[in-house]
Amino acid sequence: MEKSGSDIIRKFLEAGIELSVENAGLMDEMIVFLQAYCQKVNLTAIRDREGIIEKHLIDSVLPLTFMDLPGDSLCLDIGTGAGFPAVPMMILRRDLEFTLLDAQRKRTDYLTQLVDRLGLKAEIIHGRAEELGRQPRYKHRYDMVTARAVADPVTLLGYAGPLLKKGGVFIAMRGSRDEMNDEVKRGVFKHGFKLLKEIRYNIPSGDGRRLIVFLKQ
């Protein structure tokens, strides 16, 4: 029987990410808690350990390896679901201050328990991104906004625009399909962004990914 978390360390290393024993332990706890919770509440279709490691945990943190995110950045994850990509990012970068936002109560209830179990700190909000951006407390507050598997790029740019500071970045975590069509290019301009970079890579399972980074102007 493998020592708890050693399979996680190995898989992360295959993806080029070195994980401490402590952080592997937290990732392991996250998997065990997610699997147990999903027996009662449907939070994700990916429930096998290997799938969670590759398609949730590693997929969530790979964007950090392509970016030079300053310490103590204020970050918001729109439509975080069961905490992806935010919670694995928080485990790797304890200095980041995350807000976890989701429109579904069952997900924010889960996140409250998860964050507490892992001994992490985050603001957890049950609500919609388009409404949060209208509240003075959250308007132009964030250095980085992330979103994985939430909506189309133009809708997401509309959500992220009011929430980001000038000079902040919106990180769209997408599948392998090229989505930078004319409609998206118009959306970039309309919502006050500039396309900073687009990075193509594969996660260990071989699935293709695109990371599109937009700069708020």
Which residues would be at the binding site for ligand SAM (CB under 6 A)?
78-82, 84, 101-104, 107, 128-130, 148-151
Angle made by CA atoms 24, 27, 29, in degrees to the nearest 5: 110
Nearest alpha-carbon partner for 201 in 172, 175, 169: 175
Taking the complex as a whole, the smallest distance from the CB of residue 44 to ligand SAM amounts, in Å, to 6
Question: How many Cβ atoms are within 10 Å of 183's Cβ, its own excluded?
Answer: 12
Between residues 4 and 32, which has the closer beta carbon with respect to ligand SAM? Answer: 32
Instruction: List, as one string, the DSSP characters of the chain.
Output: -PPTTHHHHHHHHHTT----HHHHHHHHHHHHHHHHHTTTS---S--SHHHIIIIIIIHHHHHHHT--PPTT-EEEEET-TTTTTHHHHHHH-TT-EEEEEES-HHHHHHHHHHHHHHT---EEEES-HHHHTTSTTTTT-EEEEEEESSS-HHHHHHHHGGGEEEEEEEEEEE-SS----HHHHHHHHHTTEEEEEEEEEE-TTS-EEEEEEEEE-
Taking the complex as a whole, the smallest distance from the CB of residue 146 to ligand SAM amounts, in Å, to 8
Between residues 57 and 169, which has the closer beta carbon with respect to ligand SAM? Answer: 57
Taking the complex as a whole, the smallest distance from the CB of residue 18 to ligand SAM amounts, in Å, to 24
Taking the complex as a whole, the smallest distance from the CB of residue 20 to ligand SAM amounts, in Å, to 24
Between residues 55 and 216, which has the closer beta carbon with respect to ligand SAM? Answer: 55
Taking the complex as a whole, the smallest distance from the CB of residue 1 to ligand SAM amounts, in Å, to 29
Between residues 56 and 216, which has the closer beta carbon with respect to ligand SAM? Answer: 56
Question: How many Cβ atoms are within 10 Å of 153's Cβ, its own excluded?
Answer: 20
Between residues 26 and 150, which has the closer beta carbon with respect to ligand SAM? Answer: 150
Between residues 24 and 171, which has the closer beta carbon with respect to ligand SAM? Answer: 171
Between residues 4 and 103, which has the closer beta carbon with respect to ligand SAM? Answer: 103
Taking the complex as a whole, the smallest distance from the CB of residue 127 to ligand SAM amounts, in Å, to 7
Taking the complex as a whole, the smallest distance from the CB of residue 58 to ligand SAM amounts, in Å, to 13
